[in-house]
Structure 1
C-alpha cells in the first residue's frame, strides 16, 4: 500500500492509525508529567512539531517514536514494538481507498480498526454479520439499508464487504482475525422473495465458515430469557497490547466508536452475559441445519 509519508508535498492525513498513535504519545507524555515544551526541547524539536504529531497532523518516523518513548521513560518491549509499528503504518492507505468516496469516512475508520484487530466479538440481532455474509446476501442487505445509494454504489459496497472477509483467512505476517458472533435465531428465518434460494445458500455458508478454527458462531434462541442483547447490535474489537479495546455501534447513518475503560467494560460484561444465554456451538449448528433444510 502507498504511504502518504512517501509524498513530501502532501500534508499528513489524520488517519485513524495516526490519531491513535498521537493519542498514545500524548498519554505517555502526560504520564511522564512533561509539557509539550519540555518534551520537544529534549527531542530538539519545535513544540509545534510535537503538537502536530499528537494531533495526527504530522508524520513521525519509527526511530523518532522510539526515542520519544525513551524520553517518557517507556521501555516495555511490547509497547516499543507496537508504537514503532503504528508509526511505520500510520500513513499507509488501506485497500478500501480504491473505492473513493463510496466508502464513508467512519466506515474507513472501522475497516482500519478491523485490519489491525486481534479479535472481534459481535452480537447481531437483525442480520448475518458482514464478515459472514455471502455476496448475494450482502447486496440485498446493503440495498435495503443504504437505500439512498445508487445501484453501482450498492455493488461497490458489497464488493468491499466481501473483500473485508480476507481477515478471517489470511493476513500478511499475522494470524487471521479471531471472530465470535452471536446471531439471533430470527435472522435465520429471513426470506427474500426475489431470490428464494438466497437464504439457504447463506445458511450453508454460515456453517462452512464456522468450521474455521478462528470463527465461532452461536445462536440466540427465540425463547431467550431477557439479556443485554435486547438493546441491539454491538461489537467488541480487541487489539494487541497496549492498544485499548474499542466498541463499535451501528445505525442507519453509519457506525461510531465507544472507548474508555469503564464504557468498554460494560459492553464486555454484556457480551459475556449474552454468551451465557445463547445456545452452545453444537446446538447452534443443529438449528442452522434444521432451518436450512426446511427451505
Structure 2
C-alpha cells in the first residue's frame, strides 16, 4: 500500500512530532534531511505530518543524522514506528467509539501511569459493568441502547491494562465522596457491588485510591474531571479533559504542568489512602442490608 494512503493514527502523529522536534533541534531543514536519507522533501513532510509510514529500519539512521543517539530514545521511536499503523482492539466497535476516545485509549494503552480526579463519578478504569452501563446511559444522551451496551463493553475491556502482565499501568485516582453516595433506584445492589469492587482494586499494588471528603477545603479539582497520563521517556505527559461533549487533550508542556500541580494539590486535600479505604468500607457496610 502506498505511503500516501497511510492513516494518521495517534501513534503516527506522535512519531512525526518527535522526528520534527529532533530535526529542528539539529537546525536541519526537511530538504537537507530528506536528501541525506535519499528521500525528497515531500516524503519528509508526509512522515512528519503523519501522512506516510516511517519504516522502523530507518529510524535509527534518521536520529543519528539529527545527533540523537541515546539508546532509550532510539528504541522508543523504533517501537513507535513499528506500532504506528496498528489499530487497537476498539476498532471492532466502529464509529460507536468517538475519535477522541480512540485516541485516548491508544494513549492509555501506551501509558506508564494515569492520575485521575473524578468529582462526580467513579473513574472508568474502576467501574463495574453494571455501573458503567448506568452511567453511560445517563451521560451519552444521543446513543441508542445498543450503543450504550457497546460502550460499556469498551469500558470494561480497557480495564485489562490494570492487570496485564507486561507493564500494568499505575493508576492513582482521587474520587469525590459524593460519587460514592450515588444511588440507582432500579438497581439497589449496584452501588454495593461498585464499592466492593473499589476495595478489591485497592489491594492491587499498582492502584492508589483516595477519597475527597465532603468536608474538604477548596482545591483545583472543583473545576472538573481530568486525567494526567505519563509515558516512558522520551514521550511527554498529556492531560485529558472530559465533558458532556466528549474529551479534549492538553499537550503543551506548561499547560500540562498546571494539571500536574493541580493533582498534587488535590492529593493533599484528599483523605489519606488508609482513611479513604476506611471511608469506602464504612459506606459499604451502611449499604449492606
TMscore range, shorter length: over 0.9
- Contact 2:112-2:169 within 8 A present in 1 as well: yes
In 1, Cα distance between the equivalents of 2:152 and 2:215?
33
Say if 2:44 is the partner of 1:50: yes
- Contact 2:120-2:178 within 8 A present in 1 as well: yes
Tell me by how many angstroms 1:63 deviates. Answer: 1.3
In 2, Cα distance between the equivalents of 1:21 and 1:149?
34
In 1, Cα distance between the equivalents of 2:3 and 2:33?
27
Instruction: Give 1:201's aligned residue.
Output: 193
Tell me by how many angstroms 1:43 deviates. Answer: 0.5
Instruction: Give 2:172's aligned residue.
Output: 180
Q: TM-score, normalised by structure 1?
A: 0.96
Aligned residue for 2:72, secondary structure, equals helix
Moved over 6 A (4+): none
Give deviations 1:12-32, integer Å, cap 9, x for gaps.
100000000000000000000
* Selected match of 2:19 from 16, 22, 25: 25
Aligned residue for 1:162, secondary structure, equals helix
Give deviations 1:190-212, integer Å, cap 9, x for gaps.
00001000000000001001110
Instruction: Give 1:101's aligned residue.
Output: 95
In 2, Cα distance between the equivalents of 1:123 and 1:111?
18
Give deviations 1:195-251, integer Å, cap 9, x for gaps.
000000000001001110000000000000011111111110000000000000011
Say if 2:112 is the partner of 1:118: yes
Tell me by how many angstroms 1:9 deviates. Answer: 8.8
Instruction: Give 2:224's aligned residue.
Output: 232
In 2, Cα distance between the equivalents of 1:248 and 1:293?
34
In 1, Cα distance between the equivalents of 2:150 and 2:5?
28
Query: What 5-or-longer segments of structure 2 have no aligned partner?
Result: none
Instruction: Give 2:202's aligned residue.
Output: 210
Q: TM-score, normalised by structure 2?
A: 0.98
* Selected match of 1:254 from 229, 246, 257: 246
Give deviations 1:103-158, integer Å, cap 9, x for gaps.
11111000000000000000000000000000000000000000110000000000
Distance change >3 Å, CA 264–CA 97, structure 1 → 2: same
Instruction: Give 1:190's aligned residue.
Output: 182
* Selected match of 1:133 from 122, 127, 133: 127
Alignment RMSD (CA, Å): 1.0
Tell me by how many angstroms 1:11 deviates. Answer: 1.4
Q: How many aligned residue pairs are there?
A: 287
Say if 2:60 is the partner of 1:66: yes
Aligned residue for 1:66, secondary structure, equals helix
